[in-house]
Structure 1
Amino acid sequence: MGLLDNMKAKLGPAKDKVSDLAQRHGGSIEDRLDKAAKVVDEKTKGKYSEKIHAGTGKAKEAVERLAHPAERTPDTGTSAAPGGGTAQTPPTPPQTPPEGPPPTS
């Protein structure tokens, strides 16, 4: 068993615990993120508002992913669609040039 396998085996229980905590306290975590973002935005006098907002959004998404890990498929990282499939966009068909000579005007 390699080093990475050992680490995964040891981190498994911690991941489950974090997931459980995110499920139980997700709302209050998001409230605290908003509160911290507001304080930082006030301290920086709005200079970094866009970056603070983006970072807060990413943190909230991470909490959501931790709270609901079963909604993601482990091999591709795509969201699971209702009914067991994955929510992926279908491939676009290749475009073929029209047959025959080009139109004349």
Structure 2
Amino acid sequence: MSIVDKVKEMFGGHADKAKDAVDKAGDMVDDKTGGKYADKVDMAQDKAKDFIEGAKPKSDGGQSAQ
């Protein structure tokens, strides 16, 4: 099992909480940097949320075709 599979398994049942954590972390970075990198932070947040969204359990037992 790869590290990516382990992370997906970990997030599987807690996707909403993980996405909230991504938002909070991005907000903290924006606050600490004065919004200087807000566009990059937003992009990273979107990519992280997409990854988490892809980690949700599927009806076929959590297996997804990649």
- The structure with the largest helix share of the pair is 2
Query: Aligned residue pairs: how many?
Result: 60
Instruction: Give the root-mean-square deviation of aligned CA atoms.
Output: 2.0
Does residue 22 (structure 1) correspond to residue 5 (structure 2)? The answer is no
Instruction: List aligned pairs for 1:57-72, cutoff 5 A.
Output: 57-68=46-57, 70=64
Distance (Å, rounded) in 1 between the aligned partners of 2:51 and 2:30: 21
The correspondence of residues 70-81 of structure 1 with structure 2, limited to 5 A, is 70=64, 73-74=65-66
With CA pairs under 8 Å and 6+ residues apart, which has the higher RCO, 1 or 2? 2
**TM-score if structure 2 supplies the norm length?**
0.75
* Percent of aligned pairs sharing the same letter: 32
Unaligned stretches of 5+ residues in structure 2: 58-62
SS of 1:67's equivalent in the other structure is coil
Offset, 1:21: 2.6
Offset of 1:26 from its aligned partner?
0.5
Give runs of ≥4 in structure 1 deviating > 4 Å.
none
Decide which structure has the larger Cα Rg and report it: 1
